Structure 1
Amino acid sequence: MKTTLILGATPNPSRFAYLAAERLANRGHEIIPVGIKKGRIKGREILNGKPDVPEIDTVTLYIGPQHQPEYYDWLLRVAPRRIIFNPGTENAELVRLAREAGIEVVYGCTLVMLAGDSY
């Protein structure tokens, strides 16, 4: 399976980012959780800041538009195949930057996509 970076990862099991990480891992997807919280999800350490990461297929966003600008340059360097804008993360500026860089933009819910086998 291809690697998914979860931006906004948290060790809090009541949060959607945690549930997405858990379900992705349970389905055999390699996950890289990145967030401001410390902790682990499915045996993976939550990375802080803007870490060096291997090739990424998908970034699934769980941070609001107000917190995204600090990650723009890093996300474009990571150069995923696609970015999933989960509900509440929609951001026209990042969408524009991603499309200009040749990154596919998906407006959707990672959890719903996984449940419907459309991930």
Structure 2
Amino acid sequence: MNKKTLVIGASENPNRYSNIAIKRLREKGIDVVAFAKRNGKVEDVTIETELLNFKNVDTVTLYLSARNQPEYYQYIIDLKPKRVLFNPGTENPFFEQMLQGSNIAFERACTLVLLSIGAY
């Protein structure tokens, strides 16, 4: 089953966790779409700078601190993903409550760890 994933806070910098996550997701054959303030590309994934209406997003994985997330709350909720992953450093109890109220699951978990243990 393909768990199409939207990476928010994507980076072309190979030292950033979002970059590594995109590569690992692609290695696992998972469709990836990405968003950031700066456009770019990570392997075959284009980093978009506009909030596009991506279809069939299973998972949104966040690489933005809680203080940088508010402008994306409604966008993420409107995508109706099955879950949102709060990677370490992105935890946000306020947004978690919003997701819960919208029947969207969330996890405080590292995308890279989930992939490495086969629990993605």
Q: Paired residue for 1:108?
A: 109
What count of residue pairs does the alignment treat as equivalent? 119
Cα distance between partner residues in 1 of 2:109 and 2:54: 24
Q: Residues 14-68 of structure 1, C-alpha deviation per residue, up to 9 Å, x if partnerless?
A: 0000000000001100000111122101212101131121110000000000110
Which structure 1 segments of 5+ residues have no match? none
Which structure 2 segments of 5+ residues have no match? none
Q: Paired residue for 1:57?
A: 58
Identity percentage of aligned residues: 34
Cα distance between partner residues in 2 of 1:27 and 1:3: 11
The one-letter amino acid paired with 2:80 is A
Q: Paired residue for 1:11?
A: 12
Q: Is the 8 A contact 1:7 1:60 kept in 2?
A: yes
Between stretches 44-53 and 54-63, larger displacement belongs to: 44-53
Q: Paired residue for 2:22?
A: 21
Q: Residues 69-111 of structure 1, C-alpha deviation per residue, up to 9 Å, x if partnerless?
A: 0001101101100000000000011100001100001111000
Q: Paired residue for 2:81?
A: 80
For normalisation by structure 1, the TM-score amounts to 0.97
Cα distance between partner residues in 1 of 2:20 and 2:107: 19
Cα distance between partner residues in 2 of 1:64 and 1:97: 16
For normalisation by structure 2, the TM-score amounts to 0.96
